[in-house]
Structure 1
């Protein structure tokens, strides 16, 4: 047994290093010390040729070459298992050991999205207005419509409400190009849709004048074709405002990044129940308007959110024939 150990160069190196610890020459540079550590050899065994009897890198390399030594492999120590760990945890190997990872290159769409959103967050002064909207009447109306065979989602009503609010507050229905604010004559609402290739924003053109049921049919058609890359350019490029609704995925509230040249985006969270002052449960959801402070004032942003609050709180106003409605006659801004 002893003879077998003595013929193993790795063991010989390690034994020599251990037995001579404490007798090291003091003049050993970092590079030399690193090599000595990797090969588990001691500078005491190496003839020194330095001006002050110190071991040089050349001396170590010559010694290694002469002895035909190999680096000592590193010994990996398994992670310690707490004494109180269950028996099944101790017997199983650590999770993640031996797993393989795959690098997935970005698609051109994801590269473009990443670049545009990074530029937007870096160059556009993002400001925010947040609010909690009561949705009790909206929920009741949707149930009533469902009994009549009309199935529309909260998102469909939101698109309609945003369209009407943009018509009532045209100061928010703008784009920002070449350091100029551009008023958009139509109300075209973009809706963020997740696809296998990345996020895309199909446009509901003339959202302020469409019936909620028409909006529902149109968004289903656009979202379906977006997921199979069948949209025309004019169906997802442009628009005057964007809605990003993550409430359907269980997100309660969040902030979004403006998609230039648009100047605003609405982040919508999921519906939740809360007790009111009268201790009765109320249905609420949170939204956050993110707007470009260069193009939209804080007052106009707040007016826009207040109009949304009024429309969602009174959803009956959104299911009439909106092609005949003149918002200027209603004068919702007078509520401010």
Structure 2
């Protein structure tokens, strides 16, 4: 019966390259773990390599020296990183991904199902790291299979936060004039069966702001930038299976009543799962309004390849400076998340300034 030696993946690879017998090394890492520095300090044992290569009858020796390295194994970068953190040897893991590729779930499963005869020291070393990524199965729970939409949301948002450098800019916007205009417009539109929401008007304000500040109406595309000449606004809509973003195309050129009617129709079909791909894929920017649920302020995640998303907080009564005096006004906080690869902070600030002006002087939304 062999004794399991606690070795970091990088140390194991280096030992194989140098022909170092791991059994002869005293580890200086946590719990006696052999680390790369221990192998670098050890003399190469070329004799062991020669013996392993010539001993065909010792089948157990040759594979140990000529062991496949982690770099040669088909595994996702995330799976390799988690394997290194948990001390899992990728060569012992069976991949369930495409073409046998090892994915994150395979590594986590291997870590949680360690052999019963593993050395106690190895189990002790794995326990803290495993606890950080594996749920406590002793807590009453049920396993809910992810829908394809939820998987897509998880993948895209993870990619966005990992790959897109976000910069956040927040402004406080006074809503009193917009609310007054909305009331007047709804009174005139009642006969047509149209009722404008605050969100309809904010969509129009964002669209106009993007056209006025074209440096923010862009997408980052590697060595190029896509500069859009119209504003297609993706509107975040919560549905039973997750979140979907139907698009109001050319919102900058549409009337408020047209935007309201279109949003109502798109949101209704989104909740029924009847949207066509071209109705929710694309867009030049997004708006997400959680103010209706009482959220004061939040920072939304950019929906790549778009360059920005506007997060709308709740309108609430606050002390506010009006004509150099403190008054009570209806104020909301709006936060823009910008892709800093494509949009400079000054340009993002200009967009937020223009948006604020359009909302506080809302006649510009109907002219």
TM-score, length basis structure 1:
0.64
More helix by share: 2
Q: CA deviation at 1:100?
A: 5.0
Counterpart position of 1:285: 332
TM-score, length basis structure 2:
0.59
Counterpart position of 1:239: 283
Counterpart position of 2:295: 251
Q: CA deviation at 1:244?
A: 0.6
Within 5 Å, give how 1:209-228 maps onto structure 2. 209-228=253-272
Counterpart position of 1:135: 175
After the TM superposition, which parts of structure 1 deviate over 6 Å for at least 4 consecutive aligned residues?
none
Within 5 Å, give how 1:5-84 maps onto structure 2. none
**Residues in 2 aligned to 1:164 and 1:186: alpha-carbon distance in whole angstroms:** 9
Select 2:187's aligned residue among 130, 147, 161.
147
Specify every segment of 5 or more residues in structure 1 that has no aligned partner in the other structure, as ranges.
Answer: 1-97, 321-336
Greater mean deviation of Cα atoms: 171-180 or 208-217: 171-180
What is the number of equivalent residue pairs in this alignment?
A: 223
**Residues in 1 aligned to 2:153 and 2:258: alpha-carbon distance in whole angstroms:** 29
**Residues in 2 aligned to 1:147 and 1:108: alpha-carbon distance in whole angstroms:** 43
Give the SS at the match of 1:276: strand
Q: CA deviation at 1:306?
A: 0.6
**Residues in 2 aligned to 1:276 and 1:189: alpha-carbon distance in whole angstroms:** 30
Does structure 1 residue 265 correspond to structure 2 residue 309? yes
Q: CA deviation at 1:207?
A: 0.3
Does structure 1 residue 300 correspond to structure 2 residue 344? no
Give the SS at the match of 1:122: helix
Per-residue CA deviations over 1:17-68 (Å, capped at 9, x if unaligned) read xxxxxxxxxxxxxxxxxxxxxxxxxxxxxxxxxxxxxxxxxxxxxxxxxxxx
**Residues in 1 aligned to 2:250 and 2:286: alpha-carbon distance in whole angstroms:** 13
Give the SS at the match of 1:258: coil
Q: CA deviation at 1:179?
A: 3.9
Q: CA deviation at 1:144?
A: 1.5
**Residues in 2 aligned to 1:263 and 1:318: alpha-carbon distance in whole angstroms:** 23
Q: Give the superposed CA RMSD.
A: 1.5
Counterpart position of 1:203: 247
Within 5 Å, give how 1:154-193 maps onto structure 2. 154-193=198-237
**Residues in 1 aligned to 2:326 and 2:343: alpha-carbon distance in whole angstroms:** 38
**Residues in 2 aligned to 1:202 and 1:194: alpha-carbon distance in whole angstroms:** 11
The structure whose Rg is larger is: 1
Give the SS at the match of 1:110: helix
Give the SS at the match of 1:255: coil
Q: CA deviation at 1:152?
A: 0.7
**Residues in 2 aligned to 1:136 and 1:210: alpha-carbon distance in whole angstroms:** 23
**Residues in 1 aligned to 2:314 and 2:268: alpha-carbon distance in whole angstroms:** 22
Q: CA deviation at 1:232?
A: 1.1
Give the SS at the match of 2:145: coil
